[in-house]
Structure 1
Amino acid sequence: MEVTEILKKYSADIDQEITAALEEVDPETLRQASEHLVKAGGKKLRPSLVVLSAEAVGGQVKSALKTGAAVELIHTFSLIHDDIMDQDEKRRGKPSVHVLWGEPTAILAGDTLFSKAFETVMRSEEDGVPAPTILPALNAVVDSCVKICEGQALDMGFAERTDVTEEEYLNMIFKKTAALIAAATKAGAIVGGGTPEQIEALSEYGRLIGMAFQIQDDYLDVASSEEDLGKPVGSDIVEGKMTLLVVNALARASEEDHNRLLTILKEEGDEHVSEAMEIMEKYGSIEYAWQVAQEDVNQAKQLLRDVLDDSPAREALLLIADFVLQRSN
């Protein structure tokens, strides 16, 4: 089965839970703003990971749907606020929430999604999840929200620095990207009734594929085509972003190449993108980033094989790990 088919399998049920969570939001403009990005689509990767993790430890799909919906609500909240901070005018091919409704309403829409996420997890008892199980699942979700905010703050701080280390960068992407994916797989294993060993392994699986997901984004920015990316190649360089490739190249480069790469990153425009890519290629930084992502995926897959019995859900999780590296955008 293709990964896109796996993700579609749960989308309708997840969307139904999200609609139920938001249907009583008032006034109507706030509800429309809150629903906008959900209705715009998206892969539904994170909520699918919740459900698959529950199934992989022997749980039922129904028990994980509300937690899956909650994780998607949190992801959507973070996108709305990211778009405001970055002043991005489009998301998922549609105008951003703040473009359509203004920044104040967009902030409120994000806050609404954030609040509804916790309420949705707590309603899991309606689907047969024992009350004592709900609290640790909720705790996993709450913890990821704090980390998302920390990761965003770190990322913003990196824009003012030229001495970011690889350790600092990896910590930032863990918090900004991987923490919510780890929360999805951990919470899924919890509501599915997994053993402590299975819960820990699935949490780590989520962390590893989340790290690989972000590193692959860094890699694709210079190794993919504009057609596949849907944006110009090297846009991270134009924006002066501290990616793993840049951090690695700056650490390895000669003084001359180091200073030249920094100059390019600080300059506006895209006329020197190819030169920056040549410097990163010269020091093996592009290949290095791909290898780090590959190693993370390999470790994630081994964890699943170590603690989970063979099942369609485990196979789907293995396929999703591979998909992280096989995607082109």
Structure 2
Amino acid sequence: MASNLDQYLSRELKEASEKVKSFLEKTLTIKKPETLYEASIYLIKAGGKMLRPYLTLKSCETVGGETFKAIPVAAAIEMLHTFTLIHDDIMDEDPVRRGVPSVHVKWGLPTAIMAGDLLFAKVYEVTAEELAKRNVPPEKIVKVVGLISKTATIICEGQTLDMSFAEREDVSEKEYLEMIKKKTSSLFKTSAMVGGLIGGGLDWQTERLGEYGELLGVAFQIVDDVLGLEADEKTLGKPVGSDLREGKKTLPIIFALKNANQQQKKIVLNAMRENSTPKNILEAKKVIEELGSISYATKKAEEYIEKALEKLKELPENQAKKSLENLARFVVERKF
């Protein structure tokens, strides 16, 4: 991260990450059976951007709340996210996550499934018990649990849509956007809303934060799709081109298939097979770039970020709000 802005955001992300990780390490203390707890905290220790917990904490601060009270729910959001990653890697058969072997590769399928299930259960345990210890009113805790529960359902719907798209060549941009709003964006939205709730925000402030989070999440996923084709594999922490091999219908791929001639379409579809070769992937990436898919997707992500920033305008002017604005800009400029 070269600019002063990036350095400042990087420092803030690190500070938030350390607070949340410290809480999670206490929550997921290694005990018998050791392998279950080691597998559960493995990806959390491996790294990750911790954008969602950061979003929760800064949303809380934006409406005048105390970060201390929001840490448990920020940690719960990260556990929910990690649960989805573990199960997602199993379904996609991805061997690498965050630059290390996936949980199911390191510990096997049964332990990986149980590790994900443990994290999912801990989400609710932590939210209910730890928020109460920090004097969060019971009615707010009920609202937070309700939001998280609803989001978990929506994520499952999005994941199912994503898997179903692999069998189709005619997925539209509208369908894609509906899918990522469920699979990815819904958790960004909830991350912001629970922060607003815990922070004592007015109803309309919490709604604006949620709208900001939803738009941010859409942009995040579009950029993720671009990076899945363009990024350096070591920097990204997972195989580049895996979306193609798995038949994923990302925005760059949807745009390419829609605008390709017969020969170009054949090249792209040829790469979208389990047994596609590195050469197939490179040829498809070249066609996708030549058709303008990368620039189209990048522009679309930038449009969503501008809409997200608009949602923040009515909120109080403070440093936390500036941090949310910086986060939005980071999402479209990031390389990992």
Task: Using the TM superposition, name which of 290-299 and 28-37 deviates more.
Answer: 28-37
2:272 is aligned with 1:265 = yes
Which residues of 2 match residues 253-292 of structure 1 at below 5 A? 253-255=260-262, 257-266=264-273, 268-292=276-300
2:108 is aligned with 1:137 = no
Amino acid paired to 1:191: I
Q: For residue 24 of structure 1, report the CA deviation from its aligned partner.
A: 7.9
Alignment-derived partner of residue 293 in structure 1: 301
- Note the residue ranges of structure 1 that are not aligned, 5 or more in a row: none
Q: For residue 229 of structure 1, report the CA deviation from its aligned partner.
A: 3.8
Note if contact 1:67-1:187 (Cα within 8 Å) is conserved in structure 2.
Answer: yes
Following the alignment from structure 1 to structure 2, what is the Cα–Cα distance between the partners of residues 251 and 316? 38
* Compared CA separation, residues 101 and 239, structure 1 to 2 (3 A): closer
Following the alignment from structure 1 to structure 2, what is the Cα–Cα distance between the partners of residues 215 and 327? 12
From 137, 160, 181, the counterpart of 1:174: 181
Alignment-derived partner of residue 114 in structure 1: 120
Note if contact 1:138-1:187 (Cα within 8 Å) is conserved in structure 2.
Answer: no
Alignment-derived partner of residue 37 in structure 1: 43
Relative to the length of structure 1, the TM-score reads: 0.92
Following the alignment from structure 1 to structure 2, what is the Cα–Cα distance between the partners of residues 35 and 227? 22
Q: For residue 33 of structure 1, report the CA deviation from its aligned partner.
A: 1.9
Q: For residue 255 of structure 1, report the CA deviation from its aligned partner.
A: 4.7
Alignment-derived partner of residue 163 in structure 2: 156
Amino acid paired to 1:173: I
Following the alignment from structure 1 to structure 2, what is the Cα–Cα distance between the partners of residues 288 and 242? 15
Task: Using the TM superposition, name which of 101-110 and 230-239 deviates more.
Answer: 230-239
Q: For residue 155 of structure 1, report the CA deviation from its aligned partner.
A: 1.3
2:98 is aligned with 1:92 = yes
Q: Which runs of 4+ in 1 moved over 6 A?
A: none
Q: For residue 25 of structure 1, report the CA deviation from its aligned partner.
A: 5.9
From 34, 51, 71, the counterpart of 1:65: 71
Q: For residue 13 of structure 1, report the CA deviation from its aligned partner.
A: 2.2
* Compared CA separation, residues 319 and 251, structure 1 to 2 (3 A): same
Note if contact 2:72-2:126 (Cα within 8 Å) is conserved in structure 1.
Answer: yes
Q: For residue 256 of structure 1, report the CA deviation from its aligned partner.
A: 5.0
Note if contact 1:150-1:176 (Cα within 8 Å) is conserved in structure 2.
Answer: yes
Note if contact 1:58-1:193 (Cα within 8 Å) is conserved in structure 2.
Answer: yes
Amino acid paired to 2:256: A
Q: For residue 17 of structure 1, report the CA deviation from its aligned partner.
A: 2.3
Identity %: 44
Q: For residue 11 of structure 1, report the CA deviation from its aligned partner.
A: 2.1
Task: Using the TM superposition, name which of 212-221 and 55-64 deviates more.
Answer: 212-221
* Compared CA separation, residues 29 and 219, structure 1 to 2 (3 A): closer
2:20 is aligned with 1:27 = no
Over the aligned positions, Cα root-mean-square deviation in angstroms equals 2.1
Alignment-derived partner of residue 207 in structure 1: 214
Note if contact 1:261-1:279 (Cα within 8 Å) is conserved in structure 2.
Answer: yes
2:135 is aligned with 1:128 = yes
- Note the residue ranges of structure 2 that are not aligned, 5 or more in a row: none
Alignment-derived partner of residue 248 in structure 1: 255
